[in-house]
Amino acid sequence: MTALAGPQVTTFTAFRATLRRDLLIALTRRNDLLNPLMFFLIVVSLFPLGVSSDPQELTRIAAGTVWVSALLASMLSLDNLYRADYEDGSLEQLLLSPQPLYFMVLAKNIAHWLVSGLPVVLLAPLLAYMLYLPADAYWTLMLTLLLGTPVLSLFGSIGVALTVGLGSRGLILAVIVLPLTVPVLIIGAKAVADASLGVSLGMHYALLGALLALSLSLAPLASAAALKISVN
Amino acid sequence: MSDSHIHNPDASGAVPLLRAHALFCERDDRVLFSGLDFDVQAGDLMQVQGSNGSGKTTLLRILCGLNGSYEGELYWRGVPIEEDREGFLASLLYLGHRVGVNKILTARENLRWSCALHSPVTDNDIETALARVGLAGYADVICRNMSAGQQQRVSLARLLLNPATLWVLDEPFTTLDVHGVRTLESLLAEHVLAGGAVLVTTHHPLAVPCTLRRLNLDTRGANNS
Amino acid sequence: MWQWFFRLGSPKWFYELSGRWLPWLVVAMTVLLTIGIVWALLFVPADYQQGDTIRIMYVHVPVASISLACFPLMAVAGVITLVWKMKLADMVAKCAAPIGAWFTAVALATGAIWGQPIWGTWWAWDARLTSMLIQFFLLIGVIALRSAIESPDAAARACALLSVVGAINVPIIKYSVEWWNTLHQPASSFSMAEDSPFGPEIWVPLVIMIFAVYLFFVISLILSTRTEILVRERRSQWVVDLVAADKTQGA
């Protein structure tokens, strides 16, 4: 170690600083925080208008509706993840930090989930009530969203990282990312639907947990590689 | 403030800090440079010159590892760069065209983050560094409310806060006023005199009290002036 | 071994080698395809349940099996692109994506046509059809990403990465779709085992058709890759010479 390279920070410090910074930015830009949530609310309320207001019918589609809307809302919020950093050059600084990129990307993804995924989880029971979801499925809905929305953020992050350098990225992002999110949607929505039927849900949670573990360990690596490609 | 003025034990060394061998890069079917060789020694202030589009920015980005579309070899202290990327990055400070300053955050918040990626700093360090680059009292101003030159100065404060051996600066003078230019020139001189090394692109004629080496991408080849 | 590997990476070498192989591949495909189609359409006995409808299996199964092979192929090419920066791998991956998408579309269409008399509907959310549909979307994503990125180098690496991510996802998608839809018939494996419900008069033409369609895929891929090679290497001397020689021959 040369004298000109001073004391190094630990990876944990860098991780915490990145998390803190992204949360700070998100809290300063309240609109970015609120818009996906409003979008979630609006999309869910479109279903009774478009399908039927019959409680029985709504009960049947409630699980899927809430899950699909959560998926779309998380897609909408993804653009904030790396775009500003790409445009102002912070992303280059992140890539040139001597810290393992995996943890830096993970910090950004966690921050993104805390401001876009967690509010969706918390708002979900209200929407579920509006859709006449049976009461015994509420906890399942929240729990599956709690396990599933981080996976959406992690997968979405790969897509955003791949497209961050492109001029028009709105639609291509959805085209890339949505097919990847199919397993989460399937398992999450089925778990909620099965909950009202009284089926044992151990398998559902195990599968969602496995998906979360897999994406936690692999997706940030893919995002990091994608970011390197995009700034090239 | 973290001290960047300690003498460099490697200053005697025959092994150059950074060595580029047979660099080749083409973009959009056009060869930017090929067979490019040069060394950067401790204590070197090297100005990369060339007409617009000659590949100055591309060269700097290749050296940093931001651009991977090149052929050739790069060595950091005699070791191929890809073998010890973390060690290289720990000794590197890069300031690009885009200054890396988030406009929503204050100068202090910006610097706190970018420093947290490299080396620990205190609030006091940040204020001292900002004062040195002419931004005394601006620590808690949101960067959106600053001029382009002031934002550039915020990024220059990192030169004082992150001790790094090699500075790679891409057009750092563009938005600076006369005072800013003078401050930066003295920062560059201090750094190389302390045994650091600087690679810089600029169209601005550098007035520095130390030897200036030039790498001209149009005529190709490093020479001293 | 490594020398061979890197020679294979040379577009010129591939172009010359594939040029020598192409006629033989085309002959083999034509023979197999003719035998397979005539056998399947005229000589295979009608199924005791499905009647003549069963004959579409001889198109659907080969096409579907090759479209399942497409993602692993692109992922392998992607890994080679990312690790060894081999240009040929990316050219193959680039050409495989649209061909794979076409094969997937044909597999979906033939699946729908087959399903019509059996399920009484053109589209059923059958596990295999559904996961094939999702895989089609994934391929469309890769193609869209390729066309959206201007720099060929960045596009190559971005698509390579997306293909690898997609290939990891394909089995997960397949599994979750099957789990979601367990009501439908289990995948009818046409195993060659003795106890197979199909007799040899059924599966031998099927195997012939599979080989024929595989050859068709390989030939399409080679032709498309050769075009891509010429476009990308248009400035290199051997392509210039080739074009000049072609012109004098034509004159």
Nearest CB neighbour to B163, from listed A4, A29, A87: A4
pLDDT at C5 over 80: no
Q: Is there a domain that residue B1 lies in?
A: no
Q: Tokens in use for A148? A: 């599933």
Considering the domain architecture, whether residues B15 and B87 belong to the same structural domain is answered as yes
Beta-ladder partners of B167: B93, B198
pLDDT of res. C96: 94
pLDDT of res. C2: 56
Which of B25, B89, B106, B117 best tests the A interface by mutation, with the highest count of A CBs <10 A? B117
Nearest CB neighbour to C165, from listed A158, A166, A168: A158
| Domain total of chain A | 1
- Nearest-angstrom CA–CA distance, A162 and C79: 16
Q: Minimal Cα distance from A96: which residue of B?
A: B89
Residues in chain A: 232
Task: Supply the CATH number for residue B45's domain.
Answer: 3.40.50.300
**Cβ-defined contact of A163 to C154 (cutoff 8 Å):** no
Nearest CB neighbour to C165, from listed A222, A229, A230: A222
pLDDT tens digits along A28-48: 888 778 888 899 999 999 999
Q: Which residue has the higher pLDDT, C236 or C111?
A: C111
pLDDT of res. B225: 45
Q: Residue B57: give the domain boundaries.
A: 10-91+167-220
Q: Residue A149: give the domain boundaries.
A: 11-231
Closest CA to C223 of C80, C67, C19: C19
Q: Provide the 3-class DSSP secondary structure of residue B134.
A: coil
pLDDT of res. B99: 86
Q: Tokens in use for C95? A: 């050409």
Q: Is there a domain that residue C162 lies in?
A: yes
Q: Is there a domain that residue C181 lies in?
A: yes
Tell me what the mean pLDDT of segment B55-75 comes to: 89
Q: How far is CA C183 from the centre of its chain?
A: 29
Q: Is there a domain that residue A6 lies in?
A: no
Q: How many CA atoms does the CB half-sphere of B200 hold within 13 Å?
A: 26
- Nearest-angstrom CA–CA distance, B65 and B48: 17
pLDDT at B61 over 80: yes
Report the neighbours of C using a cutoff of 3 or more CB pairs below 8 angstroms.
Answer: A
pLDDT of res. C56: 86
Percent of chain B surpassing pLDDT 90: 24
| Domain total of chain B | 2
- Nearest-angstrom CA–CA distance, C78 and C163: 6
Closest CA to A75 of A162, A164, A170, A10: A170
Q: How far is CA C125 from CA A185, B3, B30, C131, in A?
A: 16, 67, 51, 9
- Nearest-angstrom CA–CA distance, C175 and C169: 10
Q: Which residue has the higher pLDDT, C34 or A8?
A: C34
Query: What is the b/e burial string over B121-130, where b = at least 16 CB atoms within 10 angstroms of the residue's CB?
Result: beeebbbbbb
| A96: exposed, middle or buried (Cβ count in 10 Å: 0-12, 13-18, 19+) | buried
**Which of A91-105, B174-188, C114-128 has the least mean pLDDT?**
C114-128
- Chain B residues within 8 A of A14 when measuring between CB atoms: 116-117
Q: Is there a domain that residue B184 lies in?
A: yes
Q: Tokens in use for C49? A: 């349940």
pLDDT tens digits along B98-119: 888 998 999 999 999 988 888 8
pLDDT tens digits along A151-202: 999 999 999 999 998 877 668 898 999 999 999 999 999 898 888 787 788 8
Q: Minimal Cα distance from B93: which residue of A?
A: A96
Q: What average pLDDT is seen over chain C?
A: 84
Considering the domain architecture, whether residues B85 and B153 belong to the same structural domain is answered as no
**Cβ-defined contact of A25 to B6 (cutoff 8 Å):** no
Q: Residue C173: give the domain boundaries.
A: 14-185+199-250
Q: Which residue has the higher pLDDT, C9 or A66?
A: A66
Question: Is any Cβ of chain A less than 8 angstroms from the Cβ of C237?
Answer: no
pLDDT tens digits along A46-70: 999 998 888 888 988 888 999 999 9
pLDDT tens digits along B118-136: 888 888 889 999 999 988 8
Closest CA to C69 of C219, C205, C214: C214
pLDDT tens digits along A197-216: 877 888 889 999 999 999 99
The alpha carbon of residue C95 is apart from the nearest alpha carbon of chain A, in Å, by 18
Q: How would residue A78 be classed by pLDDT, with cut points 50, 70 and 90? A: confident
Tell me what the mean pLDDT of segment C206-214 comes to: 92
pLDDT at A144 over 70: yes
Considering the domain architecture, whether residues B30 and B47 belong to the same structural domain is answered as yes
Q: Is there a domain that residue A30 lies in?
A: yes
Q: How would residue B50 be classed by pLDDT, with cut points 50, 70 and 90? A: confident
pLDDT at C189 over 70: no
Residue after which a domain boundary falls, among B142, B163, B184? B163
Q: How would residue C194 be classed by pLDDT, with cut points 50, 70 and 90? A: very low
Please name the residue ranges forming H helices in chain B. 56-64, 85-90, 107-116, 123-132, 148-161, 178-193
Residue after which a domain boundary falls, among B139, B163, B187? B163
The alpha carbon of residue A179 is apart from the nearest alpha carbon of chain C, in Å, by 6
Give residue for tokens 């009484």.
Answer: C120
pLDDT at B2 over 60: no
Q: Which residue has the higher pLDDT, C141 or A170?
A: C141
Q: Is there a domain that residue B15 lies in?
A: yes
**Which of A95-99, B220-224, C245-249 has the least mean pLDDT?**
B220-224
| Domain total of chain C | 1
Question: Is any Cβ of chain A less than 8 angstroms from the Cβ of C68?
Answer: no
**Cβ-defined contact of A97 to B118 (cutoff 8 Å):** yes
Q: How would residue B5 be classed by pLDDT, with cut points 50, 70 and 90? A: very low
Considering the domain architecture, whether residues B37 and B124 belong to the same structural domain is answered as no
Task: Return the amino acid letter for B81.
Answer: I
**Cβ-defined contact of C149 to A232 (cutoff 8 Å):** no
Q: Is there a domain that residue A84 lies in?
A: yes
Which of C165, C174, C175 best tests the A interface by mutation, with the highest count of A CBs <10 A? C165
Q: Is there a domain that residue B134 lies in?
A: yes
Q: Is there a domain that residue C153 lies in?
A: yes
H/E element holding B28?
none
Collect all residues with Cβ–Cβ distance below 8 Å to B4 and sequence separation of at least 6.
Answer: A4, A6, B160, B163, B190, B191, B194, B196
Considering the domain architecture, whether residues B77 and B181 belong to the same structural domain is answered as yes
Q: How would residue A6 be classed by pLDDT, with cut points 50, 70 and 90? A: low
Q: Minimal Cα distance from A104: which residue of B?
A: B117
pLDDT of res. B204: 81
Closest CA to B158 of B179, B175, B172: B172
H/E element holding C144?
helix C127-148
- Nearest-angstrom CA–CA distance, C217 and C98: 11
Percent of chain C surpassing pLDDT 70: 88
**Cβ-defined contact of B66 to A9 (cutoff 8 Å):** no
Q: Using CB atoms and an 8 Å cut-off, which of residues 131-190 of chain B contact chain A?
A: 162-165
Q: Which residue has the higher pLDDT, B198 or C85?
A: B198
Residue after which a domain boundary falls, among B146, B163, B180? B163
- Nearest-angstrom CA–CA distance, C131 and C107: 12
Nearest CB neighbour to A175, from listed C140, C154, C179: C140
Q: Is there a domain that residue A5 lies in?
A: no
pLDDT at C48 over 50: yes
